[in-house]
Amino acid sequence: MRFELHLLELEARVDLPYPERALVIDELAGELEAAYAQHRASGLSPEAAEAAALDQLRLDPGAIASLEALHLPAVRRAVARLPASLSGWVELLAAALPLAGFMAFAFSEVPMLLFLREGGFALWLSLALGALALLLELQRAVVWLVLRDHSGASLRMDTPTPLYLAAATLCVGLQGAALGYYVVVGLWADGRLEGRRLPEALREPLPTLVVAATLAALVVLLHASIKAGLRALRVPSRPASSGEGEERR
């Protein structure tokens, strides 16, 4: 594309949310091509026509500021009015509220106290890792999909860290359940589990596996949902850079 480097540089410089930013760049690309064709038809060389088109449609800082003010989401505008020391806490609180609601629901509908008592340390560790992964994903959802902050600094949060935490959560759950069943099988082999004690002993390692698998699955589903939302908004897979082309999600 003839004006690709210029458009990539502009895309990185304009702090507009997607898809508005992509639409502005697409519109400007069409206008540049039309201006280039017009200058070529008037007899200019390719290099001179390209320079003339860029000069004709160059966005000055004032025009960029007007675009940003026009398209800034209302929620982000409200957060921007807060002191810098508070805006980060607002994002974190907005991410923590859904997680707190989910935990409250789980404790009210699932025998979580029994799960915690029977699961032991492995369950607590799985719960901590899974909750941290969910919190990271929810923070990204708030920043990218609610506040629609698609700046380079914001999009650099797009790392697989929550998926690593989900994998660690599942591994801890599997290991905790396996160790629990190892102990149960040993006691059973020694003849120390009889009658009702056997099914109770077989049940005890299950909570760790259930909680870990559920949290890991929720993290993966939330991660995939956020990715789908970013693709729908035409957000690039990495922050736009003027030095190279960017593959869209």
DSSP code string of 115-158: HHHHHHHHHHHHHHHHHHHHHHHHHHHIIIIIS----HHHHTT-
17 and 66 inside one domain: yes
In this structure, is residue 159 part of a structural domain? yes
Domain count, the chain: 2
Low-confidence ranges of the chain (pLDDT < 70): 1, 80, 84, 109-110, 112-113, 238-249
Residues in the chain: 249
pLDDT score for 1: 65
Residue 221: closest CA among 90, 80, 102: 102
pLDDT score for 243: 43
163 and 119 inside one domain: yes
pLDDT score for 246: 42
What's the DSSP call for residue 146? I
104 and 215 inside one domain: yes
What are the tens digits of pLDDT across the range 198-213? Answer: 777 777 888 889 889 9
Longest dimension (CA), the chain: 98
pLDDT score for 185: 83
What is the Cα–Cα distance from 240 to 232, expressed in whole angstroms? 17
In this structure, is residue 154 part of a structural domain? yes
67 and 182 inside one domain: no
88 and 64 inside one domain: no
Quote the pTM value.
Answer: 0.75
Q: Any idea what the Cα angle at residue 182 is, between residues 176 and 188, rounded to 5°?
A: 135
64 and 116 inside one domain: no
Which range marks the domain in which residue 19 is found?
Answer: 4-72
Beta-carbon contacts of 36 under 8 Å, excluding residues fewer than 6 positions away, are: 2, 3, 49, 50, 53
pLDDT score for 169: 97
pLDDT score for 249: 46
Cross-strand partners of 236: 248
In this structure, is residue 90 part of a structural domain? yes
